[in-house]
Structure 1
Amino acid sequence: MSGRPEILFPLFAGLQTLEGIGPKTAQNIRALGVEAPRDLLFTLPQSGIDRRRRDSVEGAILPGVITVLVTIGHHHPPRTKGGAYRIQVADQQATFQLVFFHARGDYWQRTLPEGSRRLVSGKIEVFDGIAQMVHPDHIVPEEDAASIPNFEPVYPLTAGVTQKVMYKASEKSLALVPAVPEWIDPAQLSRAGWPDFTRAVAAAHRPARQDDLLITAPARERLAYDELMAHQLTLALARARARRKPGRETRGDAHLQSRVLAALPYRPTSAQERVISEINDDMASEARMNRLLQGDVGAGKTLVAFMAMLRAVEAGGQGVLMAPTEILARQHLESLQPLAEQAGIVLEVLTGRDKGKEREVKLKALAQGDVQILVGTHAVFQADVAFCDLRLAIVDEQHRFGVRQRLELGRKGQAVDVLVMTATPIPRSLSLAQYGDMDVSILDEKPPGRKPIQTALISTERMGEIVERLRAAISSGRQCYWVCPLVEESEVVDLTAAEARFKHLRAALGEDIVSLVHGQMPVAEKDAAMARFQTGKSKVLVATTVIEVGVNVPNATIMVIERAETFGLAQLHQLRGRVGRGDAASTCLLVYQQPLSENGRRRLEVLRETEDGFAISETDLRMRGAGDLIGTAQSGVPRFKVADLERQAGLMAIAQSDARLLLNEDPTLETERGRAARLLLWLMRQEEAIRLISVG
């Protein structure tokens, strides 16, 4: 497909093509993410000012914005340097003053001669019993009254850019909008009652009243949908392309799967059984698998992953499971080793720690097919790692890996099936935004025998009691985690907080009992400290958040999270899931510092009330917003200019099904509506999608 359609050229020209915008303003306006007139169209007003004309300021509620026709009266220049310049004015019923500071020479005398008439608009306040309008927003001759809108849009601003500049530039950009064909499904359009695109942008920039600024206003909702639709089309194209890539049929006879299931001391949950069969079907089909497995802490994802890898082995191939850290990779190894022995297959681990001869031996065994399942860190990506017949790649805790790495892993074999796992429950709207190209399976039941975790809120003032509680748990043979506060600014500060707490607990509980783990430690030291805790040599593990994902110590029954109010809800939920893994009752103590804000208290209470990770993540999204929730590191989620992910999840879901439907009926976007959709992709800067169509 050739370049950008010609009718969009004016919208993508430089900002300086707009009358009134010079190089300096163009430079300043970039801070708002505006590079071309097109970007101004999607930078909508955030509020508005009612500037409807009144006959008089008499009877108006002050202070307030008033627009009124006045006759200019007597001028009072300032008596002292830097004083105020005042002009007496009269409307039909009352008099008030216009006030200006920094007046130069006879400027106002010339501009507003006594006896002339002007329409003025601005905020009027009463000062010392006199009504004043200080620096009116608008002063125009009577015949130019129409240049002041009845309802004036207020735009987001940045240094060096005024409302007037934004308003004029937006109006000039609107004049460039061409008539475009409709890309929205006609049934959806009439159901929602949306205007066409050209009318929608104009209406969004020229609100007539306050209600026109709501996200539910038809014009705004339509533009939000257009944005989401373009994004979902891009993901749907990526998905369609992945599905067209020849996969391989990986069929097994279930002899290994049933051997392991028979040896388990419990029966898998029905959710696990459902997901195992979804994955078996995916692997058996000709299309390549690209599935996201979401399961709350302790929902049993590891078993599902192992079953999937056994299916690859049954078909004569290999499976790889990749974890984000060395500790997690080793832990997967420990939990899977007994299952591998039941199945009678060879499981090996590969991390950055493997060097020299030992590494060579492993790589050789892998290349010959003697190792059937490999567990490792991103070291499994390295160029010299070759498999004999890799069928399935599983990525644990996807948010630590970008989409690019997901693809790299898939290149390690012939048409490798990919399964991505995450224990972070992702709210529906975000999972659609981030993983819309994938099929999603959700494990929404806890395996039997998981005891609920008691969660309590305790103020830092009761630190002494908390330490006593630990002492009692330790003497009854239990272990405890102590997570230190998260200090955003620097890992160094995190570290001092953790070290101070470590010293304090060692002094209170005994030297050998307490270990410390933090992000700055050399890997070997970190692993050694973790190992001491896992084997029960140390009873208390003081840590920064390095333990959040996957660490498994069934004997640990107390989780103390210090300054819990500094963590996100989803993160607190993850941390809490580190206890309650054995047969003893477990407790999570959320330690907060007074005074706790209203919002902070509400967040912690949600945790006390529920253990449902999905409910918690939805609350987290509502309270913190999408940007904070995923943090800047997870840039997998697009930034929308008009759409609001927190409040328009429903719209995102409609856009996803519309996009998939459109591509089902018209995979190359050649029909009339398909060509309109291409235009939408260009308009929304989705060049990636356009490339996918043309390579498709």
Structure 2
Amino acid sequence: MTGRPEPLFPLFAGLETLPGVGPKTAQLFPQLRIDAPRDLLFTLPQSGIDRALRTTVKDASLPGTLTVAVTIGAHQPPRNKGGAYRIHVMDEQTSFQLVYFHARGDYWKRQLPEGARRIVSGRVELFDGIPQMVHPDHAVPEEEAADIPAFEPVYPLTGGITQKLMYKATRAALDLIPDMAEWIDPGQKDQAGWPDFAAAAHAAHAPQSLSDLSATSVARERLAYDELLAHQITLALARQTERRKPGRATTGDGHLQQRVLDALPYAPTGAQTRAVAEITQDMASTQRMNRLLQGDVGAGKTLVAFMALLCAVEGGGQGVLMAPTEILARQHLQALRPLAETAGVVLEILTGRDKGSERQAKLAALARGDIQLLVGTHAVFQADVAFHDLRLAIVDEQHRFGVRQRLELGRKGQRADVLVMTATPIPRSLALAQYGDMDVSVLDEKPPGRQPIKTALVSTDRMDEVIDRLRAAIAEGRQCYWVCPLVEESEVSDLIAAEDRFKRLRAVLGEGVVGLVHGQMALADKDAAMRAFQLAETQVLVATTVIEVGVDVPNATIMVVERAETFGLAQLHQLRGRVGRGQGASTCLLMYQNPLSDTGRHRLEVLRGTEDGFAIAEADLKMRGTGDLIGTAQSGVPRFRVADLEKQAGLLAVAQSDARKLLHDDPTLQGDRGQAARLLLWLMRQDEAIRLISVG
């Protein structure tokens, strides 16, 4: 099955095929992310209006939307052009007025003749003590009362599209739902009490009360689950396709790993040992590894990565570790070199800096297999870089690397295993949505000897005290980071903020004490500034957030973050993790500008209260929502229409295990439920997934 199944054709036809939608109106819908009738099914009402029939407007709480039966009384045409046309009406207990503007001729006399009975519905307000309904939404004969929904759904709109049109269009789209077999596991469906897809869609568009609008109503929950299930089937198919790619079994005997472990001054944590076991087990299988190593700041990912690289060497091959920037690549080199010497393996670095004959010599050694482990930037993607036998590729800081680069790296090594590392603790719900195609190892313990970090909140009014404190720390031979605020979106203003702060600190603390690094600097200057700080030639490093990932200066014990309230929690947690790496007691000062909002204060207090990155990430997700947390546009987290990742993380986990089980039982989706699931994938626009089935 390569094309979309025929029963779904009407749902994917042009919007102008719907009654009431002309070619002009059809062009307005895409602003609501609606391109076909199918999208209308998943554009659910965001609120509702109670239009249940009442006997009278008397004693009603006004202003409010009311629906009552009335007898039409006297008409009072406007005194001047464009004035109000008033119609006096009487319900069971009181009289009020209907008000229309721009009335033409005797139109209302004909529509609402005196003495007639009508059901009117609209917003009623008091005006000079008299209730008025201005431009009623409905005014129909009593026999048509059923046309007014007792609870009217209110849809999201855009310029040129009215509630009436949305109501009509969604009803027309609902009529196009074909008969479809059930794709949800019957046990799961019964337990949750979910209706069939068509019934759920109809119910979600016809809420009877406010509770029907909540994410937990069975109709909405069912539709949310359909979205999550389709997404997780797609990820599971990607994972299955990835796993079907023949890998190479790499088994080490552990002798190099043991040398390093014997030389370490401490024992690895349980989490580290577990992660190494999971990774080496994956490497030993003939399927390709596709694993994510997720660790909090300072959880010891580097050691785990190195153990995995040694396994590749023990198995007779090579390994590569890639970092997003040259600074980080060099830092990995510094951290790994002593370990490599202990193990007796050859470790080299390859970056854009390598030129000419030196580069040629490295490439030749790499191709011969004389270099066993390579650390590098994306320069290792270049066409002339060839390995002798690449077994393992490790990618550090995934969100800087797209899926495309992950695949390219895999191509370098004939069937090399891939391990992705990230220091950003991702809440489980997002990890499932973003990395559902990967297996995940989590480092959730800190190695011994890590100093706790004291976190304090300080207002920017106390700047001078903070600078005095820096002066004292420098006198004791300590070093400090000073992170400048993120100003607006433009990098120019970031730059100005950093340069101003640099000048001010230099004036107070003295020449040669303060260094500066920001995003606009040439790479060589940035490296020079970082290196000067690493070698303790400068004592204070003023920086924009360039330093958040990975820089390691054990002697730095103070982190000042200016205007901390403008940063994300996860980012602040990363920044704080830059100190507390050596023997000295460390402090993180979060400077905020008054007045601080309640949520701003709450966010900073979460940080002060815990050093657990996963707890912080969960709190951040609750407070900010998925989109802000990782900048949805480039994060690979899908945008769902009905499902809500924060509130429905539990559903996502069920969808993941269900999708994996479905594909385990029926890898090519040929069975009854498999065929139904194919229809779901088409319905949810997961055409990519369909290709994976046909390719697989």
Which residue is equivalent to 1:566? 566
1:36-51 alignment runs, 5 A limit: 36-51=36-51
When structure 1 is superposed on structure 2, of 576-585 and 258-267 the one drifting more is 258-267
Work out the CA distance in 1 between the residues paired with 2:467 and 2:107: 74
Q: State the AA in 1 paired with 2:543.
A: A
Work out the CA distance in 1 between the residues paired with 2:31 and 2:54: 37
> What are the superposed Cα offsets for residues 480-526 of structure 1, whole Å, 9 maximum, x if unpaired?
00000012321111111111111111111112111111101110111
1:581-660 alignment runs, 5 A limit: 581-660=581-660
* 1:475 matched to 2:514: no
Query: Which secondary structure state, in structure 1, belongs to the residue aligned with residue 634 of structure 2?
Result: coil
**Structure 1 residue 622: Cα displacement:** 0.4
Which residue is equivalent to 1:460? 460
Work out the CA distance in 2 between the residues paired with 1:56 and 1:421: 66
> What are the superposed Cα offsets for residues 324-367 of structure 1, whole Å, 9 maximum, x if unpaired?
11111111011111111111111111112222222222111111
Query: Which secondary structure state, in structure 2, belongs to the residue aligned with residue 482 of structure 1?
Result: strand
1:292-331 alignment runs, 5 A limit: 292-331=292-331
Which residue is equivalent to 1:527? 527
Q: Is the 8 A contact 2:484 2:544 kept in 1?
A: yes
Query: Which secondary structure state, in structure 2, belongs to the residue aligned with residue 411 of structure 1?
Result: helix
Query: Which secondary structure state, in structure 1, belongs to the residue aligned with residue 222 of structure 2?
Result: helix
Work out the CA distance in 2 between the residues paired with 1:510 and 1:204: 67
**Structure 1 residue 126: Cα displacement:** 0.9
1:68-147 alignment runs, 5 A limit: 68-147=68-147
Query: Which secondary structure state, in structure 2, belongs to the residue aligned with residue 481 of structure 1?
Result: strand
Which residue is equivalent to 2:10? 10
* 1:508 matched to 2:515: no
Q: State the AA in 2 paired with 1:533.
A: F
1:286-435 alignment runs, 5 A limit: 286-435=286-435
Query: Which secondary structure state, in structure 1, belongs to the residue aligned with residue 512 of structure 2?
Result: helix
Q: 1:531 to 1:633 in 2, by over 3 A?
A: farther
Work out the CA distance in 1 between the residues paired with 2:513 and 2:100: 72
Query: Which secondary structure state, in structure 2, belongs to the residue aligned with residue 467 of structure 1?
Result: helix
Query: Which secondary structure state, in structure 2, belongs to the residue aligned with residue 93 of structure 1?
Result: coil
Q: State the AA in 1 paired with 2:539.
A: K
> What are the superposed Cα offsets for residues 232-251 of structure 1, whole Å, 9 maximum, x if unpaired?
00000111111111111101
**Structure 1 residue 651: Cα displacement:** 0.2
Work out the CA distance in 1 between the residues paired with 2:542 and 2:140: 68
Which residue is equivalent to 1:661? 661
1:197-212 alignment runs, 5 A limit: 197-212=197-212
Work out the CA distance in 1 between the residues paired with 2:70 and 2:352: 79
* 1:155 matched to 2:194: no
Work out the CA distance in 1 between the residues paired with 2:30 and 2:221: 25
Q: State the AA in 2 paired with 1:24.
A: K
Q: Is the 8 A contact 2:399 2:635 kept in 1?
A: no
Which residue is equivalent to 1:172? 172
Work out the CA distance in 2 between the residues paired with 1:628 and 1:107: 52
**Structure 1 residue 633: Cα displacement:** 4.8
Which residue is equivalent to 1:547? 547
**Structure 1 residue 108: Cα displacement:** 2.8
Q: What percent identity do the matched residue pairs reach?
A: 76
Which residue is equivalent to 1:261? 261
Work out the CA distance in 1 between the residues paired with 2:401 and 2:140: 58
**Structure 1 residue 643: Cα displacement:** 0.2
What's the TM-score once normalised by structure 1's chain length? 0.99
Work out the CA distance in 2 between the residues paired with 1:613 and 1:106: 71
Work out the CA distance in 2 between the residues paired with 1:379 and 1:146: 69
Work out the CA distance in 1 between the residues paired with 2:91 and 2:521: 75
Q: State the AA in 2 paired with 1:680.
A: L
> What are the superposed Cα offsets for residues 602-622 of structure 1, whole Å, 9 maximum, x if unpaired?
000000000000000000000
Which residue is equivalent to 1:215? 215
Q: State the AA in 1 paired with 2:195.
A: P
Query: Which secondary structure state, in structure 1, belongs to the residue aligned with residue 442 of structure 2?
Result: strand
> What are the superposed Cα offsets for residues 99-154 of structure 1, whole Å, 9 maximum, x if unpaired?
22333444333433333332211111111111011121222232222111000001
Query: Which secondary structure state, in structure 2, belongs to the residue aligned with residue 68 of structure 1?
Result: strand
Aligned residues: 696
**Structure 1 residue 440: Cα displacement:** 0.5
**Structure 1 residue 264: Cα displacement:** 1.1
Query: Which secondary structure state, in structure 1, belongs to the residue aligned with residue 635 of structure 2?
Result: coil
What's the TM-score once normalised by structure 2's chain length? 0.99
Work out the CA distance in 1 between the residues paired with 2:255 and 2:60: 84
Work out the CA distance in 1 between the residues paired with 2:481 and 2:101: 63
Work out the CA distance in 2 between the residues paired with 1:536 and 1:106: 89
Which residue is equivalent to 2:440? 440
Q: State the AA in 2 paired with 1:149.
A: P
Which residue is equivalent to 1:536? 536
Q: State the AA in 1 paired with 2:274.
A: R
Unaligned runs of 5+ in 2: none
Q: 1:30 to 1:425 in 2, by over 3 A?
A: same
Q: State the AA in 2 paired with 1:88.
A: H
Q: State the AA in 1 paired with 2:224.
A: A
Unaligned runs of 5+ in 1: none
Q: State the AA in 2 paired with 1:447.
A: P
> What are the superposed Cα offsets for residues 166-200 of structure 1, whole Å, 9 maximum, x if unpaired?
11000000011112100011110111000011100
Q: State the AA in 1 paired with 2:294.
A: Q
RMSD: 1.1
> What are the superposed Cα offsets for residues 421-464 of structure 1, whole Å, 9 maximum, x if unpaired?
00000000000000001110000110100011000000010001
Q: State the AA in 2 paired with 1:624.
A: R
Work out the CA distance in 2 between the residues paired with 1:555 and 1:671: 62
Query: Which secondary structure state, in structure 1, belongs to the residue aligned with residue 420 of structure 2?
Result: strand
Which residue is equivalent to 2:196? 196
> What are the superposed Cα offsets for residues 19-38 of structure 1, whole Å, 9 maximum, x if unpaired?
10011211111101000000
> What are the superposed Cα offsets for residues 282-326 of structure 1, whole Å, 9 maximum, x if unpaired?
101111111100000000000100110011011111101111111
> What are the superposed Cα offsets for residues 594-648 of structure 1, whole Å, 9 maximum, x if unpaired?
1111111100000000000000000000000000001145331000000000010
Work out the CA distance in 2 between the residues paired with 1:70 and 1:452: 73
